[in-house]
C-alpha cells in the first residue's frame, strides 16, 4: 500500500467522486450528519423503486424479512445478534425509546456526564420533569489526561438513588472515546442499568456491543458507517426487551420487541434496508485501512492546527477516534467565525463552546486530505488578524 507520510494516498481526492459533496467544499464535519456515498444512495433508490412498484406486497411480504436480514448483517458488523437489534430513525429516537419506557419516581437520579449530547440532555430532563426524578450531570474534566479521570468522577457521583446511567461512547462536543466498558462495569456492580449513546461509534471504532454488558446501546449508521440518513439502531439486552417500547406504539404492542419496533406505522424503510450496502462499501474500501487513514489524518491535522495557533489538543491520542477538538485562539464571536469560514473559505467545521472557551472539532473521512486542514489553519489565523486590527 502506498503511503504519503502516514496517510494512505489511495484515499482523499481519489475517492471523493464517490460522494456528492460540493466540489468547492472543504468538508471537515463528517461527524455531524455523515455523508452518504453515491453507490449506497443508489441502493437506497432501488429499494424505494421496489416499494413503489407494489406497495402492498412490499409492506406486507417483503419488508420484515428484508429488515431482519439487514439487522443480521448489521449485527455481524457491530458484534450483536440481529434479533436484539431494532432499527430506529436516529440515536435521539433510540435514547427516547429507552428513557420513556422506564418509570422513575420522585427523588430517583438519572446519571450522565456534562459531555452529553444536547438533545439527549433534553430527553433526560423531560423524563426527570415528568416524574420528579433528578438529572445528575457529572463534570468530567476537560482537557483530560487519562480515561481513569472519567471513571473516578462517575464513581464519585453514583448514589443509592441512581436508577439509570447514560454514557456516550464517543462524546459529541469534545470527541472523546469514553472508557465505556469500565463505566458499564462500575454501574452494573451497583445494579444500575446502563444506556450507551453510541451515536458516533459504528464505523468509527471496532464494536462488540454484546460483550460490553450494557442494557441498551443505540448507534447511528448514518454518521461513520455512511448509511443514508435515518438509519440507526437500538440494541436491547434480552432481559430488557419486554419492557422497552418504541416512541410510537403501533400494531406490535403486546406481541414482542421486534414486532413493536419493526412496524411503527407507514414509513420509508429504505435507509434501514441500505445498511448492508453501507457495510459493503466500507468493506470494499477496507475497514482497517479506512480507520487507520482517518485516525492518522485527524491526529496529524489536529497537532498541526494546535501548533499553528499556539493552542493545544485537550486529550491523549488514545481517547480519540476520527474526530478531535482543538482549542481555538481567543475568539469573541464563535458563531461569526463559523459563518465566515463557510462564506469566505467554503470550509465546513463545527465551532463548539464548551466550558469556559471555544473549540473547533475536526473530522477525518477518507475523502479528506491534509491540505484542507492547512487551509483551515490559515483561514482561522486570518480571521484572528482581521478582528485584532
Ligand atoms: C453523542 C450523540 N448522541 C446523539 C446524537 C444525535 O444523533 P441524531 O441527530 O442522529 O439523533 C448525536 C449527534 O451528533 C451525538 O453526537
Domain count, the chain: 2
| Same domain, residue pair 259 and 334 | no
| Same domain, residue pair 19 and 102 | no
Query: Is the Cβ atom of 223 under 6 angstroms away from ligand 1?
Result: no
Digit-coded pLDDT (tens) for 133-160: 999 999 999 999 999 999 999 999 999 9
Query: Ligand 1 centroid to 61 CA: how many Å?
Result: 32
Query: Ligand 1 centroid to 50 CA: how many Å?
Result: 30
Q: How confident is residue 5, by pLDDT bands cut at 50, 70 and 90? A: very low
Q: What is the mean pLDDT of residues 97-124?
A: 98
Q: Which of 35, 114, 117 is the best mutation target for the ligand 1 pocket, counting ligand atoms within 8 Å of the beta carbon and taking the most?
A: 117
Residue 220 has pLDDT above 80, yes or no: yes
| Same domain, residue pair 170 and 305 | no
Q: What is the mean pLDDT of residues 69-83?
A: 98
Residue position matching grid coordinates 491534509:
370
Q: Which of 280, 315, 349 is the last residue of a domain?
A: 280
318: DSSP letter: G
CATH classification at residue 330: 3.90.1150.10
CB 345, CB 382: distance < 8 Å: no
CB 216, CB 236: distance < 8 Å: yes
Residue position matching grid coordinates 416512541:
247
| Same domain, residue pair 45 and 102 | yes
Complete DSSP assignment for 211-261? HH--SEEEEESSSTT-PPTT-EEEEE-GGGGGG---SS--TTTTT-HHHHH
| Rounded Cα–Cα distance for residues 134 and 127 (Å) | 9
- Average pLDDT over the chain reads 96
What separation in angstroms does the CA of 160 have from each of 102, 107, 312? Answer: 18, 11, 39
Q: How confident is residue 386, by pLDDT bands cut at 50, 70 and 90? A: confident
| Same domain, residue pair 350 and 216 | no
CB 147, CB 319: distance < 8 Å: yes
Q: Which of 259, 280, 301 is the last residue of a domain?
A: 280
| Same domain, residue pair 75 and 152 | yes
Q: How confident is residue 2, by pLDDT bands cut at 50, 70 and 90? A: very low
Query: Ligand 1 centroid to 143 CA: how many Å?
Result: 22
Q: Which of 230, 246, 280 is the last residue of a domain?
A: 280
In the chain, the largest separation of any two C-alpha atoms, in whole Å, equals 68
Residues 6+ apart with CB under 8 A from 164: 99, 102, 104, 110, 111, 192, 193, 194, 195
Range of the domain at 87: 41-280
Query: Is the Cβ atom of 200 under 6 angstroms away from ligand 1?
Result: yes
Q: What is the mean pLDDT of residues 211-223?
A: 98
Residue 96: predicted pLDDT: 98
| Same domain, residue pair 259 and 293 | no
| Same domain, residue pair 241 and 301 | no
Q: How far apart are the first and last CA of the chain?
A: 48
The length of the chain in residues reads: 389
Residues 6+ apart with CB under 8 A from 13: 367, 369
CB 370, CB 7: distance < 8 Å: yes
Q: Work out which ligand 1 atom sits closest to the CA atom of 168.
A: 1
Q: What is the mean pLDDT of residues 344-369?
A: 97
Query: Is the Cβ atom of 113 under 6 angstroms away from ligand 1?
Result: no
The structure's pTM equals: 0.96
Digit-coded pLDDT (tens) for 24-48: 999 999 999 999 999 999 999 999 9
Digit-coded pLDDT (tens) for 302-330: 999 999 999 999 999 999 999 999 999 99
| Same domain, residue pair 14 and 66 | no
| Same domain, residue pair 18 and 82 | no
| Same domain, residue pair 238 and 380 | no
CATH classification at residue 226: 3.40.640.10
Q: What is the mean pLDDT of residues 115-137?
A: 98
In the beta sheet, which residues pair with residue 220?
232
CA angle 104, 110, 115 (to 5 degrees): 150
With H, G, I as helix, E, B as strand and everything else as coil, classify residue 278. helix
| Same domain, residue pair 276 and 291 | no
Query: Ligand 1 centroid to 121 CA: how many Å?
Result: 11
CB 170, CB 200: distance < 8 Å: yes
Residue 8: predicted pLDDT: 58
Amino acid at each position: 500500500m502506498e503511503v504519503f507520510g502516514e496517510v494512505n494516498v489511495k484515499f482523499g481526492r481519489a475517492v471523493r467522486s464517490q460522494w456528492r459533496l460540493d466540489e468547492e467544499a472543504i468538508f471537515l464535519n463528517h461527524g455531524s450528519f455523515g455523508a452518504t456515498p453515491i453507490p449506497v444512495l443508489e441502493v437506497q433508490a432501488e429499494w424505494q423503486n421496489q416499494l413503489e412498484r407494489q406497495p402492498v406486497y412490499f409492506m406486507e411480504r417483503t419488508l420484515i424479512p428484508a429488515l431482519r436480514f439487514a439487522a443480521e448483517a448489521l449485527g455481524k458488523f457491530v458484534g450483536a445478534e440481529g434479533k436484539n437489534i431494532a432499527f430506529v430513525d436516529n440515536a435521539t429516537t433510540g435514547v427516547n425509546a429507552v428513557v420513556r419506557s422506564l418509570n422513575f419516581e420522585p427523588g430517583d437520579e438519572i446519571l450522565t456526564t456534562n459531555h452529553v449530547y444536547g438533545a439527549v440532555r433534553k430527553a433526560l430532563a423531560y423524563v426527570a420533569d415528568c416524574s420528579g426524578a433528578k438529572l445528575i450531570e457529572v463534570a468530567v474534566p476537560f482537557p483530560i489526561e487519562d480515561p481513569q479521570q472519567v471513571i473516578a468522577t462517575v464513581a464519585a457521583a453514583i448514589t443509592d438513588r441512581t436508577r439509570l446511567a447514560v454514557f456516550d461512547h464517543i462524546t459529541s462536543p469534545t470527541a472523546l472515546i469514553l472508557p465505556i466498558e469500565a463505566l458499564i462495569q462500575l454501574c452494573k456492580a451497583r445494579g444500575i442499568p446502563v444506556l450507551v449513546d453510541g451515536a458516533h461509534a459504528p464505523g468509527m471504532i471496532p464494536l462488540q456491543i454484546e460483550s460490553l454488558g450494557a442494557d441498551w446501546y443505540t448507534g447511528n449508521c448514518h454518521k461513520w458507517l455512511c448509511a443514508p440518513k435515518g438509519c440507526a439502531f437500538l440494541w436491547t439486552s434480552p432481559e430488557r426487551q419486554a419492557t422497552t417500547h418504541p416512541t410510537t406504539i403501533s400494531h406490535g404492542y403486546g406481541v414482542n420487541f421486534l414486532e413493536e419496533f419493526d412496524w411503527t406505522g407507514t414509513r420509508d424503510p429504505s435507509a434501514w434496508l441500505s445498511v448492508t450496502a453501507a457495510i459493503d462499501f466500507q468493506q470494499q474500501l477496507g475497514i482497517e485501512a479506512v480507520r487507520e487513514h482517518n485516525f492518522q489524518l485527524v491526529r496529524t491535522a489536529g497537532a498541526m492546527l494546535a501548533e499553528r495557533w499556539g493552542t493545544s489538543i485537550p486529550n491523549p491520542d488514545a481517547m480519540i477516534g476520527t474526530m478531535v477538538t482543538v482549542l481555538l485562539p481567543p475568539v469573541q464571536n464563535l458563531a461569526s467565525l463559523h459563518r465566515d469560514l463557510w462564506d469566505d473559505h467554503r470550509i465546513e467545521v463545527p465551532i463548539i463552546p464548551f466550558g469556559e472557551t471555544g473549540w473547533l472539532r475536526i473530522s477525518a473521512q477518507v475523502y479528506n486530505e491534509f491540505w484542507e486542514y492547512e487551509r483551515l489553519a490559515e483561514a482561522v489565523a486570518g480571521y484572528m488578524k482581521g478582528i485584532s486590527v
